[in-house]
């Protein structure tokens, strides 16, 4: 017969594991992805270095994709691909620049 402490220890371990995995199941993944999207699009003055480096990498990816579309636009002589390349480049520049620290103003501190 198992003692009560063994059962409670087992249950506490299970609860701990479930708490650690909570952000990997629906709908918590939606909340996490929303915060990542908000960081990439709006930036955060208090973002750690790892997050800022991630923004730089994503931004560079979009900038390089924009440059690739410039090549396609030049070869095909297409204005549509040129506009597409400008869009990719602008999105990449926005995300890349959000990787840098922003000054915190009094207005930002109140929010």
Q: What is the mean pLDDT of residues 92-106?
A: 78
Q: By the 8 A CB rule, do 66 and 87 touch?
A: yes
pLDDT tens column, 30-80? 666 666 767 777 777 777 788 888 889 989 999 999 999 888 889 888 888
Dihedral, CA atoms, 28, 33, 35, 39, nearest 10 degrees?
Answer: 170
The helix (run of H) or strand (run of E) holding residue 88 is helix 79-97
Q: pLDDT by residue (tens digit) across 5-26?
A: 556 778 888 887 776 666 666 6
Using DSSP's 3-state secondary structure scheme, residue 98 falls into: coil
pLDDT interval class at 29 (50, 70, 90): low
Alpha-carbon distance 14 to 7, whole Å? Answer: 11
Distances (CA, A) of 109 to 30, 39, 97: 26, 16, 21
Q: Where along the chain do its domains lie?
A: 4-110
Write down the pLDDT at residue 51.
83
Residue 87 burial (C-beta neighbours within 10 Å; 0-12, 13-18, 19+): middle
């Amino acid at each position: 017969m198992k003692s009560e402490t063994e059962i409670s220890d087992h249950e506490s371990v299970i609860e701990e594991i479930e708490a650690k995995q909570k952000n990997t199941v629906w709908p918590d993944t939606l909340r996490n992805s929303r915060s990542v999207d908000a960081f990439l699009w709006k930036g955060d003055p208090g973002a750690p270095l790892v997050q800022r480096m991630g923004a730089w990498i994503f931004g560079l990816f979009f900038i390089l994709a924009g440059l690739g579309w410039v090549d396609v636009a030049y070869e095909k002589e297409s204005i549509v691909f040129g506009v597409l390349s400008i869009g990719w480049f602008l999105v990449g520049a926005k995300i890349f620049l959000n990787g840098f620290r922003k000054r915190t103003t009094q207005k930002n501190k109140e929010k």
